[in-house]
C-alpha cells in the first residue's frame, strides 16, 4: 500500500540520520567548526572525525611543505590530529579552528625537524606524467628540476623563516595569524618573510 511505503521510508530515514546527530539536534556535518570542537571536547569522536575530514588535506599539505615527502607528512599530520583531539578542551575559539590546527601542525613539524639534520630532509620528485604529455619532455624535466631546487632551498631555510614562508605563500594566512601560530609579532613575521625570500633568492641564484 502506498501509505505503508511512505511510513516505512520515514522510519528508515530517522534511523539513518539519528546516530550522526549532535547534541544540538543537527547532523554533525552541518555544524560549524566551533560547534564541532565543542562536541569533540565533550568526548564526541564522531564530531572529531568530521573535523579530521574537513581539515586533513590542509594539515597534510602544511606538513608536506615542511618535510617534502609523503611518508613523513602523513605521520606528522596524524600526530597533529591526535594532539588536537587531546587538546580539544583547550580550544577557546579565539582563532579559527584551521589556525589552531595549523599551529599544532607547525609545532609538530618543528619538533620533528629539530630532531633531524636539515641536510637530511629528503625531497621527493613529483614529476607528473601529464606534464610530459602537455609540454615538451625537456621542458617538463627542466620545470621539475627547478621545482626540486626550490623545495630543497625552502627545506634549508631556518625554521621560523620556513614556517613563515609556507604559511604565507601556500596557505595565505595573514601576518597576524602567522604571528599567532608562531608565537611572535607581526613585525617579526614580516622580517622572517623578507629574509626567507632573500635567502631563497641567494640559494636559487647559486644553483647551476
Partner 1 sequence: MSHLTPDELIDAMEGVLPSEQQAHLSSCLECQQQLDELASVLSEAKQVSVPEPSPLFWQHFSTRVTEGIDNQSASEWPHWLRWQVLLPLGAVAMIILALMIAVPKSSRPGDAPVALAAPVAPDAPASDDNWGALVAVVGELDLETASAAGVIEPGFAEQAVVHLTREEQQELSRLLQAELTRAKS
Which residues of the chain form contacts with partner 1 (CB under 8 A)? 45, 48-49, 52-53, 56-57, 60-61, 64-65, 70, 74, 77-79, 81-82, 85-86, 124, 126, 128, 146-147, 150-151, 154, 165, 169-170, 187, 190-191, 193-195, 197-198, 200-201, 204
Cell numbers standing for residue 84:
588536537
Whether 20 contacts 27, CB under 8 Å: yes
Instruction: Give me the long-range contacts of 100-103 (CB less than 8 A, separation at least 24).
Output: 101/55, 101/58, 101/59, 102/58, 102/59, 102/62, 102/167, 102/171, 102/173, 102/177, 102/181, 103/180, 103/181
* Contact residues for 175 (Cβ-Cβ < 8 A; gap 6+): 168, 186, 189, 190, 193
Query: Smallest distance from the beta carbon of 49 to partner 1, in angstroms?
Result: 6
Nearer to partner 1, 28 or 52 (CB): 52
**CB 52 → partner 1: shortest distance, Å?**
5
Q: Which residue, 11 or 126, has its beta carbon nearer to partner 1?
A: 126
Q: Which residue in this structure is represented by grid cell 602567522?
A: 178
Nearer to partner 1, 7 or 187 (CB): 187
Residues 47 and 101: beta-carbon distance below 8 Å: no
C-beta of 25 vs 166, nearer to partner 1: 166
Helices 45-67 and 33-41, packing angle to 10 deg: 110
Whole-number minimum distance, CB 193 to partner 1, in Å?
A: 6
Which of 5/125 has CB closer to partner 1?
125
Q: Which residue in the block uniquely carries the three cell numbers 641564484?
A: 205
CA atoms of 146 and 204, how far apart (whole Å): 9
Indicate the residue among 54 and 95 with the shorter CB distance to partner 1: 54
Q: What is the sign, positive or negative, of the torsion defined by CA atoms of 146, 150, 152, 153?
A: positive
Amino acid at each position: 500500500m502506498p501509505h505503508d511505503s511512505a511510513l516505512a521510508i520515514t522510519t528508515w530515514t530517522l534511523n539513518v540520520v539519528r546516530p550522526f546527530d549532535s547534541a544540538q539536534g543537527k547532523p554533525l556535518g552541518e555544524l560549524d567548526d566551533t560547534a564541532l570542537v565543542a562536541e569533540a571536547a565533550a568526548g564526541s569522536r564522531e564530531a572529531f572525525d568530521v573535523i579530521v575530514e574537513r581539515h586533513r588535506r590542509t594539515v597534510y599539505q602544511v606538513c608536506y611543505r615542511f618535510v617534502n615527502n609523503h611518508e613523513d607528512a602523513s605521520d606528522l599530520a596524524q600526530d597533529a590530529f591526535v594532539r588536537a583531539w587531546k587538546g580539544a578542551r583547550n580550544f577557546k575559539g579565539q582563532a579559527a579552528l584551521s589556525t589552531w590546527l595549523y599551529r599544532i601542525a607547525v609545532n609538530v613539524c618543528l619538533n620533528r625537524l629539530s630532531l633531524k639534520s636539515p641536510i637530511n630532509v629528503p625531497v621527493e620528485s613529483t614529476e607528473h606524467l601529464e606534464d610530459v604529455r602537455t609540454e615538451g619532455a625537456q621542458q617538463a624535466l627542466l620545470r621539475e628540476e627547478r621545482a626540486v631546487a626550490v623545495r630543497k632551498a625552502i627545506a634549508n631555510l631556518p625554521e621560523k623563516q620556513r614556517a613563515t614562508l609556507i604559511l604565507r605563500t601556500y596557505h595565505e594566512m595573514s601576518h597576524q595569524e602567522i604571528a599567532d601560530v608562531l608565537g611572535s609579532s607581526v613585525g617579526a613575521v614580516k622580517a622572517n618573510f623578507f629574509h626567507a625570500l632573500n635567502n631563497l633568492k641567494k640559494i636559487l641564484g647559486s644553483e647551476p
